Amino acid sequence: MSERKSSLAKRPSLLVALAIFILSAAGPASAQTEATNANTSRTGKYRLVWFEDPATTATFVWNQLEGSPGVLHYGPRNQDRNKNKYSRKSEVDRVVNFDGMKNCMVTLRNLKPDSWYFMCIGDDFGVSRRFYFRTAPDKPQPFTFICGGDSRNFRDVRQAANLMCRKLGPLFVSFTGDMINHDTAEQWDEWLDDWQLTINDKGRLLPIAPHRGNHEARPESIPNHFGMPEGSYAAFNVGGNLFRYYILNSEIPADGVQGNWLTSDLKKNANGVTHLVAGYHKPMRPHTSGKALGRNSYKWADTFYEAGFDLVMESDSHVMKRTLPMKPFPQGGEDFKAAPNDPKATVYLGEGCWGAPLRRADVAYSWTVGAAAFNGFDWLHVTPKAIFDKTVKVENVASVGEIDPAKPYDDPKGLQLWAPNGDDEVLRIPAD
């Protein structure tokens, strides 16, 4: 009995020692977390959006829960949550009351290319957590980005994919539509909460290039939740003339006003660009039998070919696919034909598996490299000589390590990649 008593008596001191050890080991880290992660403001649902020159510009959007819209304090030096130490501040440009949220939008301009920026919001109640993000380079240099879409239904998969983005830490995420299943306040509320999982523990924001899908039934949803221009199409460069990305809207006519804009933008801005890339929602030729052909988006096929687009990313079918480089061939029955040695030919990737119900990949063409049904997205590495693609499976995210920022395209531990039909996991799309 006395032995038992003494052992119990000893236990608290052991626990205290252990607690002291843990606290001293974690002390600086928790102070740091407190300095950057506390949120005494009444703001939430943060998203950083890219749709115009991301070397110098970014649009930050948040939901103001109560009180007047906050003020964004920012600058190239980290001041944690000491808002008054930041070199610049900006009041909101626009407040949009939509879906029960007060979406506050600030477009930051005249930023320095290829630089980190730190920021926090000060409002009537306090200060938000500290965020940071990187601007795009304005000269050719390698970078990574993620592209995928269709996060409509299953929040567990959506959250896994969002977490995977955070672990891979790309320069930006291109989201090719159908964020939500029903275009309602309740579903946007959930989607924007899930998007917070892309923000890491230190507050790094991954910019999103948002596209409209058919489930964004209201034309104003994407502009009102992300600050995108009316029409939800835009284009921007990354790395100067290394890469120009077109956010297209397949839910409005591909020709007409949007088509004219695309043609004239290409005339003005495509000359000398190494990689022309486009993203939109509706695939021209879906790889599942349950979906109609994308007759509207197919109107872009000739434009892409004539301008020499290297890569196009589609969504909507809820299967994953990779094609050979190909050119339009409307008279051949498959709308395209493989053209592996044609410098103007285009590789098409897709088609939207970020949490929407998977469909059977039961359609393949002579130019299909592979098509399969699994949850994932494409992870791309853009370099002056080529774009590399890896298709990432997202469901095992809990056992995947973090990227080494010094080697931003090396697979972290545990990452599972798709090898279409036993083909190479890594697809190389040469600059030509």
Kindly state the smallest distance separating residue 154's Cβ from Fe ion, in Å.
15
Candidates 207, 213, 286, 376; binder of Fe ion (CB under 5 A) is 213
340 vs 357, beta carbon nearer Fe ion: 357
Residue choice 310, 316, 351, 389 for contact with Fe ion (CB under 5 A)? 316
Q: Closer CB to Fe ion, residue 138 or residue 316?
A: 316
**Interaction between residue 137 and Fe ion (CB under 5 A):** no
* Euclidean distance between CA atoms 6 and 386, whole angstroms: 70
> Contact between 214 and Fe ion (CB under 5 A)?
yes
CB atoms within 10 A of CB 67: 13
Residue 170 or 294 with smaller CB distance to Fe ion: 294
CB count, 10 Å around CB of 23?
Answer: 10
- Structure tokens that stand for 166 in this block: 């955070």
x/- letters, 140..179, toward Fe ion (CB under 5 A) = --------------------------------------x-
- Asked if 183 interacts with Fe ion (CB under 5 A), we say no
Q: Tell me the closest approach of the beta carbon of residue 177 to Fe ion, in angstroms.
A: 6
What's the half-sphere exposure (Cβ side, CA atoms, 13 Å) at 269? 21
DSSP 67-91: SSPPEEEEESS--TT-GGGSSEEE-
Nearest distance in Å: CB 186, Fe ion: 19
In 262-276, which positions are buried (b, 16+ CB within 10 angstroms) versus exposed (e)?
A: beeebeebbeebbbb
E strand intervals along 362-402: 368-372, 376-382, 386-393
Residue 378 sits in the site that holds Fe ion (CB under 5 A)? no
State the minimum distance, in angstroms, from the CB of residue 385 to Fe ion: 34
Looking at the Cβ atoms of 137 and 213, the one nearer to Fe ion is 213
Q: To the nearest whole angstrom, how small is the minimum distance from the Cβ of residue 79 to Fe ion?
A: 42
Dihedral sign (CA 222, 224, 229, 234): negative
310 binds Fe ion (CB under 5 A): no
Strands, sheet with 243-247, edge to edge from the N-terminal-most edge strand: 234-238, 243-247, 275-279, 311-313, 347-350, 320-323, 368-372
CA distance 5 to 181: 61
Is 174 or 274 the residue whose CB approaches Fe ion more closely?
174
Rounded distance between C-alpha atoms, residue 174 and residue 62, angstroms: 19
Tell me if 78 sits within 8 A of 132, measured CB to CB.
Answer: yes
Which residue number, 203 or 213, has a Cβ lying nearer to Fe ion? 213
CB of 175 vs Fe ion, minimal distance in Å? 12
Closest residue to Fe ion using C-beta atoms: 316
For residue 315, the minimal CB distance to Fe ion (Å) is: 7
* Binding residues for Fe ion (CB under 5 A): 178, 213-214, 316
